[in-house]
Amino acid sequence: MAYQIAVDVGGTFTDGVLLDEAANTIWVAKSLTTPSDPGEGIARVVEMLLAKRPPPAGGRAHGVERVVHGTTLITNTLLERKGVRTALVVTAGIEDTLDIRREMRYDTYDLAATFPEPLVPPALRFAIGERTGPSGEVWRPVAGADVEELGRRLANEDVAAVAVCFLHACVNGEHERQTVDILRRISPERSYSLSSEVASEVGEYERMSTVVANAYVQPIVDHYMRVLGQRLAELGVAGRLDIMVSHGGFTEAEIAARFPIRLLESGPAGGVLSAINCGSAEGIDRILAFDMGGTTAKSCVSIGGVPAITNVFEFARVRRFKRGSGLPAVSPSIDLIEIGAGGGSIARLSALGLLQVGPDSAGSEPGPACYALGGTQPTVTDADLVLGYLDADDFLGGTMKLSTVKATEALAALGGRLGLSAEETAWGIHDIVNENMAAAARTHIAEHGHDARSFTFVSTGGAGPVHAIDVARRLRIPRVLCPIASGVGSCLGFLAAPARADRSWSRLEPIGNFDREALSRRIEAARDEIAGDLAKANVARDDIVWRTAAEIRYRGQGASIEIDFGTAVAAALAPERLLSGFEAEYKRLYTRIVPDGVPEIVTWRISGQSPRAQRRYAFPASEKAEFSSEPKGMRRIYLPGEKRYATVPVYDRYRLPPGATLAAPAVIVEPESTLVIGHSASIRVLPTGTIQVDLEDAR
């Protein structure tokens, strides 16, 4: 018998799942996150999971073959500006690229719009007199003596990391490699990031921003991975350490430490995969994944079991929901939209004297007021408790007690400034959060060209099921699914994720006259590199599922569109196929092609992954209670449709037999989350254990 462990470090809780691979049996653990040392919380959860393993049979211990981990370390380090002192080496003349950006305002009418400060100040930007042309030809070679002098200057600046970004390095990165080879000989103790390796794509500002962010966090992530490996070894876990990547696959820890910028959406990606896995098990291919934890709520559209992917992600936004107000990172990522607050998000009065929720969170230290750990400001969790949606004595399966008194006091103090009672304030907070999430999700779906009503809403996260039904109703989505262990959904997504590696490169060439031989060599080289990466995850080359795509545009346009050529090899990518694929997609998007336009290839993308497997999770037989459709008790909750409190039945989720049907309103509890159905609906337990809620008035 072999085990796998998945661990997700969130802003409030660290979640863990132990999986028996043979039987797909799972055990769950949850603990408050330790922000000062996330590894401490991870070790605590892993220790809890190991204690739940069945005793060894025949004296033979059961080993953990793999730990897969999702982390917010990179995101938090960038947001809090706690990275290392970083220098930037660029081609002479482009030192101010990080300040110039795109010369665009994210809000046309905001004359005082502010932007995040670059991660590298002007004093730590250094120019080299080299130059490569746009086609990769060398116009001016790197002067070794100048680089050696730069190395000595950097030593005096006491920098821990160096980012290198030369003009047109995405076409020919030889000058970057030469420069770093010299700098490494002078200062081997520093970490170095090359734009031609981190983000080999056109767009000088985006590429520079990405490589700087990678360098800024790389030493911290490298140390984190090594210490985490040591902690796991001390617990007797000798299996491979894999890290969840933003694009929905996992990679080996050593690769993740070299390219930490690829982990920005590490944890939330797991929630999406869990939702897709749940939908696939029920034969549903149009999913709106909704994951709400302690800090944020995020959503993603998935069709045909494939999540929407974006190749440029934005972080450290000055305005949380304003695209263009942050710093770009060129890295394939599941196209998640942050649609709202989390359970720990703090409620307060805005500058206009109106009720506002978030964006800041109470986290795990001090936490919401009801945690009684020192927090005094009202949060979404406090509101949910006062509304009756949470059980103060049975939170996290009874392992954590909540204080209704402290929650009420915090809400009453805020409500007093609005002329509202504590209960009215609680509903105001809950209502604002749900409406904001529905509005943001509605926009996200429309931007992808879809109708929300055609989707099934799949909820994960500790706070997700509490809010899911009301949010789905506002979106007019009639069907909601809540998979088992939804409170640790990201971990289940990690375990269902494939191993994946990507390569991309830019080379502007007209479709009618591109170098097919050169393309063939690049594709084969990329596939060799990808196969080498996946071999570290024990994926054989013959088992790899390949994908080839190209970004194409009309010459003179600023934006390109991605055309997916599936598993096509270079020999099959004839100009005619590229042109027909581009024109078909262009017509779909814009109804017509450009007369006499010259289509040109901008960027090639190659990805390889292990075959995606459908997972069906179940709890061990020893933990299953006797089935019963009878409620375990009654609870007074607020019914939003009727705008009043009522006493409703409370059911133990894992005592409900497959096929059981229930009437709403009702509350269904499990140790890690609570499903609240406050609107008219029919409720059914599916054979997989997933709960399906069909809303009667959603359409």
Residues 555-566: tens digit of each pLDDT: 998 889 999 988
The predicted pLDDT at position 491 comes to: 92
In a domain, 466, yes or no: no
The string over 135-173, giving b where at least 16 C-beta atoms fall within 10 Å of a residue's C-beta and e elsewhere, is: eeeeeeebeeebbeebbeebeeeebbbbbbbbbbbbbbb
Pair 672, 464: CB distance under 8 Å: no
Please check whether residues 208 and 92 belong to one and the same domain: yes
Residue 164 CB contacts under 8 Å (≥ 6 apart), including other chains: 88, 89, 90, 176, 179, 180, 192, 193, 194, 195, 211
Please check whether residues 422 and 545 belong to one and the same domain: no
Please check whether residues 93 and 193 belong to one and the same domain: yes
* Beta pairing class for 309-315 and 327-334: antiparallel
Please check whether residues 128 and 211 belong to one and the same domain: yes
The predicted pLDDT at position 326 comes to: 87
Residue type, 44: R
In a domain, 209, yes or no: yes
The predicted pLDDT at position 94 comes to: 93
The predicted pLDDT at position 138 comes to: 94
Please check whether residues 423 and 504 belong to one and the same domain: no
Residue 519 CB contacts under 8 Å (≥ 6 apart), including other chains: 570, 573, 604
The predicted pLDDT at position 698 comes to: 64
Please check whether residues 404 and 504 belong to one and the same domain: no
Phi, psi of 516, deg, nearest 5? -70, -35
Asked which of 21-35, 116-130, 331-345, 523-537 is least confident by mean pLDDT, the reply is 331-345
Q: Is the pLDDT of residue 699 over 80?
A: no
Between the alpha carbon of residue 533 and those of residues 245, 247, 519, the distances in Å are 13, 15, 21
Pair 403, 369: CB distance under 8 Å: yes
Please check whether residues 89 and 191 belong to one and the same domain: yes
**Distance between CA 353 and CA 540 in Å, rounded?**
60
Indicate the residue among 186, 205, 220 that finishes a domain: 220
Please check whether residues 87 and 208 belong to one and the same domain: yes
Pair 305, 276: CB distance under 8 Å: yes
**Partners of 650 in the β-ladder:** 633, 667
Domain ranges, residue 555: 500-609
Residue type, 194: L
CA dihedral 473, 478, 481, 482 (to 10 degrees): 20
In a domain, 385, yes or no: yes
The predicted pLDDT at position 62 comes to: 61
Q: Looking at residues 381-385, what average pLDDT do you find?
A: 92
In a domain, 495, yes or no: no
Pair 635, 650: CB distance under 8 Å: yes
The predicted pLDDT at position 340 comes to: 64
pLDDT in tens, 295-310: 778 888 998 888 888 8
Residue matched to tokens 């949850």:
30
Nearest partner of 485 among 397, 388, 363, judged by Cα: 397
Q: If pLDDT is split at 50, 70 and 90, which confidence band does 661 have?
A: very high
The count of domains in the chain is 3
Please check whether residues 391 and 510 belong to one and the same domain: no
Nearest partner of 618 among 532, 687, 517, judged by Cα: 687
**Distance between CA 359 and CA 316 in Å, rounded?**
13
Please check whether residues 507 and 419 belong to one and the same domain: no
For residue 6, the surrounding DSSP H or E stretch is strand 2-9
The region, left, alpha or beta by phi > 0 then psi within -120 to 50, assigned to residue 388 is left
Residue 634 tokens, joined:
């009654």
CA dihedral 369, 372, 373, 376 (to 10 degrees): 30
In a domain, 153, yes or no: yes
For residue 695, the surrounding DSSP H or E stretch is strand 691-695
Mean pLDDT (the chain) is: 88
Q: If pLDDT is split at 50, 70 and 90, which confidence band does 59 have?
A: very low
Q: What DSSP string runs through 364-393?
A: TTT--GGGTSS--S-BHHHHHHHTTSS-TT
* Preceding amide of 366 cis, omega within 30: yes
**Distance between CA 341 and CA 320 in Å, rounded?**
11
**Distance between CA 277 and CA 282 in Å, rounded?**
9
Please check whether residues 121 and 210 belong to one and the same domain: yes
Pair 490, 291: CB distance under 8 Å: yes
**Partners of 307 in the β-ladder:** 302
The predicted pLDDT at position 158 comes to: 85
Percentage of residues of the chain with pLDDT beyond 70: 97
pLDDT in tens, 315-355: 877 776 677 888 999 988 888 887 667 777 888 888 888 88
Pair 49, 17: CB distance under 8 Å: yes
pLDDT in tens, 471-530: 999 999 999 999 999 889 899 999 989 999 999 999 888 998 888 888 889 999 999 999
Q: Looking at residues 50-75, what average pLDDT do you find?
A: 76
Q: What is the 3-state secondary structure (H, E, C) of 476-514?
A: CCCEEEECCCHHHHHHHHHHHCCEEEEEEEEEEEEHHHC
Question: Edge-to-edge strands of the sheet including 644-652?
Answer: 633-639, 644-652, 666-670, 673-677
Q: Looking at residues 546-563, what average pLDDT do you find?
A: 92
Indicate the residue among 153, 187, 220 that finishes a domain: 220
The predicted pLDDT at position 63 comes to: 82
Residue 56 CB contacts under 8 Å (≥ 6 apart), including other chains: 62
Pair 242, 250: CB distance under 8 Å: yes
In terms of Cβ atoms closer than 10 Å to its own Cβ (0-12, 13-18, 19+), residue 523 is buried
pLDDT in tens, 242-293: 999 998 888 888 899 999 999 988 888 888 999 999 998 899 989 999 988 8
Indicate the residue among 177, 203, 220 that finishes a domain: 220
Residue 617 CB contacts under 8 Å (≥ 6 apart), including other chains: 19, 24, 25, 26, 483, 484, 485, 492, 689
CA dihedral 25, 31, 37, 42 (to 10 degrees): -10
**Distance between CA 481 and CA 458 in Å, rounded?**
5
The region, left, alpha or beta by phi > 0 then psi within -120 to 50, assigned to residue 668 is beta
Residue 399 tokens, joined:
């392992």
Pair 511, 492: CB distance under 8 Å: no
Please check whether residues 416 and 523 belong to one and the same domain: no
In a domain, 445, yes or no: no
Q: What DSSP string runs through 73-141?
A: HHHHHHHTT----EEEEEETT-TTHHHHTTS--SSTT-TT---PPPSS-GGGEEEE--EE-TTS-EEE-
Q: Looking at residues 147-170, what average pLDDT do you find?
A: 91
Q: Looking at residues 53-61, what average pLDDT do you find?
A: 59
The string over 229-245, giving b where at least 16 C-beta atoms fall within 10 Å of a residue's C-beta and e elsewhere, is: eebbeebebebbbbbbb
**Distance between CA 208 and CA 97 in Å, rounded?**
8
**Distance between CA 672 and CA 258 in Å, rounded?**
34
**Distance between CA 133 and CA 171 in Å, rounded?**
9
In a domain, 351, yes or no: yes
**Distance between CA 582 and CA 90 in Å, rounded?**
35
pTM: predicted TM-score of the whole model, two decimal places? 0.86
The predicted pLDDT at position 536 comes to: 87
The predicted pLDDT at position 624 comes to: 59
In a domain, 33, yes or no: no
Between the alpha carbon of residue 298 and those of residues 106, 292, 338, 488, the distances in Å are 21, 6, 4, 15
The predicted pLDDT at position 623 comes to: 59
State the CATH number of the domain containing residue 88: 3.40.1360
The region, left, alpha or beta by phi > 0 then psi within -120 to 50, assigned to residue 461 is left
